[in-house]
Amino acid sequence: MNFLFIADPLESFKISKDSTLAMMRAAQEAGHSLWFCEARNVLWRKNAVLADCYSLAIKPSGSAWFELGPMEGRNLNTFSAVLMRTDPPFDIEYLNNTWLLSAAVSQGAKVFNNPTAIRDHSEKLSITEFPTLIPATLVSRELSAIEIFHQEQGDIVIKPLDGMGGMGVFRVGPDGLNLASIVETLGENGRRTLMAQRFLPEIAQGDKRVLLIGGEVVPFALARIPQGKEIRGNLAAGGKGVAMTLSASERKIAEQLAPILNKRGLFLVGLDLIGGYLTEINVTSPTCFVEITEQTQFDVSQFWLKALEKALT
pLDDT at 60: 83
pLDDT in tens, 155-176: 999 999 987 766 789 999 999 9
15 and 79 co-located in one domain: yes
Structurally, the chain folds into a number of domains equal to: 3
pLDDT at 62: 66
pLDDT at 166: 67
12: domain CATH number? 3.40.50.20
145 and 219 co-located in one domain: no
235: domain CATH number? 3.30.470.20
208 classed as catalytic: no
The ranges of the chain with pLDDT < 50 are: none
pLDDT at 238: 77
Q: Residue 36 is part of which domain span?
A: 2-120
pLDDT at 184: 96
222 and 288 co-located in one domain: yes
Give the CA radius of gyration of the chain: 20
**The one catalytic residue among 209, 250, 262, 291:** 209
176 and 283 co-located in one domain: no
- For residues 205 and 224, give the distance between their C-alpha atoms in angstroms, rounded to a whole number: 8
- Of the residues 157, 176, 199, the one at which a domain ends: 199
pLDDT at 90: 85
264 classed as catalytic: no
pLDDT at 237: 63
pLDDT at 89: 82
280 classed as catalytic: yes
- For residues 203 and 82, give the distance between their C-alpha atoms in angstroms, rounded to a whole number: 35
**The one catalytic residue among 113, 114, 124, 208:** 124
Task: Give this prediction's pTM.
Answer: 0.94
- Of the residues 120, 146, 170, the one at which a domain ends: 120
Burial 231-247 (b: 16+ CB within 10 A, else e): bbbbbebebebebbebe
264 and 299 co-located in one domain: yes
299 classed as catalytic: no
**The one catalytic residue among 224, 234, 250, 291:** 224
190 and 221 co-located in one domain: no
159 classed as catalytic: yes
